[in-house]
Structure 1
């Protein structure tokens, strides 16, 4: 005789419960008793969570204001206006052919990269 019998012990009062009814019919009609409630739960959850998610994003949108391009770049009233043509001519006027390569002074104890 095996240590654990394959037949589970269930009292006689168990036969008339909802759990017994569900177990019996789950084996016969798996889609009706498992698949259909599962699909219903997913669809119902979608309908319930859609307004909640919309509310979440609406509250977030109220907190965030839309910035103009100047505010985004940090340009305020005290900053000069940038004109692309003016910047081009200002850079073109610089002498880019004659320049000296200057090393940055290193901190004490920092390796300077010279071999």
Structure 2
């Protein structure tokens, strides 16, 4: 008897082979002949269907965020204690923050600066604030 038989091995289709196994074998044989139809097209269909399915979820996310973040009226600001009756802030104010009244005014103020003659200086640090030097 030769070392290798000339007959190719084929698994006998029995009652023990399930429908899933037979379907998988059928799919694998056809996949090599029609790769786009059996792999690419279903893949692209899942991507497109997923985008349609996730759109309402994303809309819900942004609607929830909009419910949380709302612009407060002057009465609500006063009730929460964010600003006093004279307009002064009730919470601790950052002294470095400069309040700009008009954006155009700030734009023209910056445009009037001479950008060719300038000198680099360090910003004065507050008491207890790290200065970034090693």
TM-score (norm 1): 0.50
1:28 match: 33
Offset of 1:26 from its aligned partner? 0.8
Distance 1:64 1:44, change over 3 A: same
SS at match of 1:75: coil
SS at match of 1:54: helix
Runs of 4 or more, structure 1, over 2 Å off, are 7-14
Offset of 1:79 from its aligned partner? 3.5
**Higher Cα Rg: structure 1 or 2?**
1
Q: Which structure would you say has the larger RCO, counting Cα contacts within 8 Å and 6 or more residues apart?
A: 1
- Equivalent residue for 1:59, pick from 61, 64, 70: 64
2:24 match: 19
**Greater helix share, structure number:** 1
Q: Give structure 2 stretches of 5+ with no counterpart.
A: 89-98, 102-126, 129-134
Q: Distance in 2 between matches of 1:77 and 1:10?
A: 89
Q: Give structure 1 stretches of 5+ with no counterpart.
A: 2-6, 85-103, 107-115
Aligned length: 77
Offset of 1:56 from its aligned partner? 1.2
Q: Distance in 2 between matches of 1:54 and 1:24?
A: 43
Q: Distance in 2 between matches of 1:78 and 1:9?
A: 92
The answer on 1:79 being equivalent to 2:87 is yes
Distance 1:44 1:34, change over 3 A: same
Q: Distance in 1 between matches of 2:39 and 2:9?
A: 22
